[in-house]
Amino acid sequence: MLMKSSHQGAHGEAQKGFPLCTSVLSVVKAFSGSMLLSGLLMVLAPVAAAQDQHARNILAQADEILHQMSQITGMPIKSPVKKQIVSRAEIEKYLVAKIHGEIKPEELHAQEALVRALGLVPADFDLEKFLINFYTEQAAGFYDPKQKTMFIADWTPEDTQALILAHELTHALQDQTWDLEDYLQGARDNDDATAARQAVVEGEATVAMFQRMIGGLKVDQMPSLSDLMDAVVHQQFDEFPAYSNAPYFFRMQATFPYVQGAGFIQAGLKDGGWKNVDQFFQHPPENTKEIFEPKAYFDHQAFSKLALPHPPFENVKGMQLLRESELGELGFYSILGQLILEDEAKLLSPAWVADRFLLYERSGGKSYALVARVQWNNVEAAHEFFRDYSTILSHRYPELAKDKRSSADEFMGTVSGGAVLILVKGSECRWAQGVPADQADALLAWMRTL
């Protein structure tokens, strides 16, 4: 859902983001991905009252636009698409039902715990409430693969509803060709891979919409669509208070499928036209690095996987494993963008190679332990992240007491919630936070052996 983002980190002026591991919020991916909300279109269409008759007039054009999108993308029309006009209250009701019906309570809890553990939101942050407010504000239209229905909001201006139809009916064609539910759920256990798939889906719908807008000019001959989309997002920042007041992570999470996704699809078109987009569904990108850097996908770059054995403190009484997954390039971009500066995110995150994390909750709730490792493509990047994350922790924990055994490659400290540990080994950085203080020495020794 396209919105606008600022360019200042949490320690600059305006905080940008929110759940630290942007790619880690698989809940958000499953939520927005399954709904395919077109916030992008809300960026292009400022909120305005629209009479029902106007909305119904534009819906009368839906079949014509469906054929246009089929001609643009090459995806065949296999069956009629159901269409429905909805109010803001109906969309909110839909979102609540979507959360309760498709996201398990334990999954929602784990993702809420993750952003709390990373210090991206307050300890009392309510993820469900946030999601409902966040997406209700922007939902100009969406296609639901389960109901095989395209919904359009009744408050959008008539002159922009054709854009909404073009975007959402492209989703309907994708669904008839590839089965969007299966595609988007195909990597559900991997947050980063799910984000990459969502970028394919939203990126194609965005580019197809632009192609319809510009007519005879081929979209692959246009300047960077990612840059264009990013500029549009920035221009509309003040239109959406729930978005503009959200932490950076959610803003980056919401814009990534449209902004970077459009760039990825555009790169594919340059390499073989719309037929070339088929490969993104037949052979989905493995991670968000391939979306940021399409050449990695087209060159069939091999990506390593980092194993992360469960640490010795896992057997401590009252310690429960909530989630293990990957943050990916998108996750680290969001971490650095929110907690340091976006300029630093742009410089360092492209050096990401692989990562893995484990999230634990202590009995009683709202007390978490996190263990993670990330591999960079050079030693300098690993040391840069070591310094950045040390800075993040020092800002988060003013009471942080540095252990005298700390060195240029290892940091040990204690805070009110337990111990924090960071070390660099070659091109890899490993860290832990919120671990029981009496387990710190054993955990550090274990981290050195990974």
Residue ranges per structural domain of the chain: 22-298, 312-449
Residue 169 confidence (pLDDT): 96
- Following CA atoms 92, 246, 329, 383 in sequence, which dihedral angle do they give, to the nearest 10 degrees? -160
Neighbours of 442 (CB within 10 A): 14
Residue 50 confidence (pLDDT): 40
Residue 145 confidence (pLDDT): 93
Ranges of the chain whose pLDDT falls below 50: 1-51
Neighbours of 53 (CB within 10 A): 8
Residue 27 confidence (pLDDT): 43
Nearest to 16 by CA among 121, 111, 139, 136: 121
Residue that has been written with the tokens 């990459």 in this structure: 196
pTM (two decimals):
0.87
Longest CA span, the chain: 72
Residue 372 neighbours by CB under 8 Å, 6+ apart: 308, 327, 355, 356, 357, 358, 430, 431, 432
Residue 131 confidence (pLDDT): 86
CB 338 within 8 A of CB 327: no
Neighbours of 365 (CB within 10 A): 12
Q: Tell me if residue 415 falls in helix, strand or coil.
A: strand
Q: How far apart are CA 67 and CA 19, in angstroms?
A: 39
Residue 14 confidence (pLDDT): 30
Q: How far apart are CA 76 and CA 67, in angstroms?
A: 9
| Token pair of 376 as six digits | 């960079």
